[in-house]
Copies of this chain bind each other. A is one copy, B any other.
Amino acid sequence: MTLRSKLMAAAALLSFSFASAQAVAEETYTLTLAETWGPNYPILGDTNRSLKSMVEKMSEGRLKIRIDSSNKHKAPFGIFDMVKAGQYDLGHTASYYYKGKIPNSMFFTTVPFGMTAPEQYAWFYYDEGFELAQKVYGEHNMLSFPGGNTGVQMGGWFRDEIESLEDLKGLKMRTPGFAGEVMSDIGVAVTNIPPGELFTALERGTIDALEWVGPALDLPMGFHQIADYYYAGWQEPSAELQWLVNKDTWNKLPEDLQEVLRVAMRTAAYDMYIQTMHMSGEAWSTIKEDYPNVKFRTFPDEVIEALRSSTEKLLGQMAEKDPLSREIIESQRDYLQQIRPWTNISDRAYLNNSVIE
């Protein structure tokens, strides 16, 4: 073999090895993510920024995420359609926004008188929840993953105290979605008002009450300045957001990057639950200190009973109409019957036994 042919052979070998090593090192993916929220939205938007950071660091830049907020894509409630069609690879939204399109999507966010956040995560990850969510979203070419939990949402701000079921009849209240249907069923005059007009509507008496989220997101809205009564929640004990992933996108990712994305979503979702808790603690502490007019109340028993009975009736109607809705409702109900007695003798007993006001 001449020197020339030896060198040619060496170069060919090196070239081959170099190309395959380079392929592993350099193949990168940039996924687009559409979020329902506006730019720099606190907590909900933080969750996507945290997802992006974890994914990009863990993959050393092989997997990148580009986030578009609603000012960019102009379709805050169009996330479902855009991810289904592959216009975006990922979406961050709440499942119950799509109840009009697919009624059984509602159950993956929260249900009145349903599970708390840890109970619902247990149902999702260790019982049937995750599988049922894929059944619903799989038909639409998407995977669905938990996307962060707000914890127990408050029952809302009321200008006057509610001392009986009668006090709620005809009361003008902004409360959207399924909780609105339940409120309407017990006689509340439910109205829908855009978020930007809520403060003025409450201040001028266009509405008597409204429900938003909880202290962390309520404080910046200023409702505590014009309503004295802050009621305990019943309607959204664990509102979970979701990440939707286009199935074609998921399938084209190599296994290691699928795992990077899955684990980062799981961590970011749990983190949002803890971050909301932290920020609600801070905000409630601020409200109590600066606005002694604000009084915490729980609804009278007869109101709770009426709300619970209307919830059962409306869930029953949903189960009648759709077999998959029935399957999900029954799975959640059975799980709650199993886990809540444990929550009662652990968390509830502990909190009742070690009261710090």
Contacts and interface: CB of A to CB of B under 8 A. Distances in A.
A336 B356 contact: yes
B339 A278 contact: yes
Given A263-B58, A348-B351, A278 B14 contact: no
B296 A345 contact: yes
Interface of A: 3-4, 7-8, 10-11, 14-15, 17-18, 21-22, 24-25, 54, 57-60, 113, 116-119, 121-122, 125-127, 151-152, 154, 214-215, 230, 232-234, 237, 255-256, 259-260, 263-264, 266-267, 270-271, 273-275, 277-282, 284-285, 288, 296, 298-299, 304, 308, 336-357
Contacts of A8: 7
Contacts of A17: 18, 22
Given A14-B18, A215-B342, A280-B342, A350 B232 contact: yes
A285 B340 CA distance: 10
A57 B258 CA distance: 9
Contacts of A338: 281-282, 285
Main secondary structure of the interface of A (DSSP, over half): helix
A64 to B, nearest CB: 14
Given A18-B14, A342-B215, A357-B344, A350 B152 contact: yes
A243 to B, nearest CB: 15
A356 B342 contact: no
28 contacts: A11-B11, A18-B21, A21-B21, A24-B25, A60-B256, A113-B354, A116-B347, A117-B118, A122-B277, A122-B281, A125-B275, A126-B278, A127-B278, A151-B347, A152-B349, A152-B350, A233-B346, A234-B354, A260-B260, A270-B270, A281-B339, A281-B343, A284-B342, A296-B349, A304-B354, A343-B351, A344-B351, A344-B357
Given A267-B270, A304-B354, A356-B340, A214 B346 contact: yes
A267 B263 CA distance: 7
A298 B355 CA distance: 14
A314 to B, nearest CB: 16
Given A58-B58, A264-B263, A350-B152, A345 B232 contact: yes
A348 B356 CA distance: 12
A288 B58 contact: no
Nearest to A230: B345
Contact of A339 (B4, B267, B277, B354): B277
Contacts of A121: 274
Given A8-B7, A11-B11, A17-B18, A342 B281 contact: yes
A54 B281 CA distance: 32
Contacts of A117: 118
Nearest to A57: B259
Contacts of A343: 277, 281, 351
Given A11-B10, A346-B151, A356-B341, A116 B233 contact: no
Given A14-B14, A17-B18, 9 more contacts: A121-B274, A152-B347, A277-B342, A280-B342, A281-B338, A296-B345, A337-B356, A347-B347, A347-B351
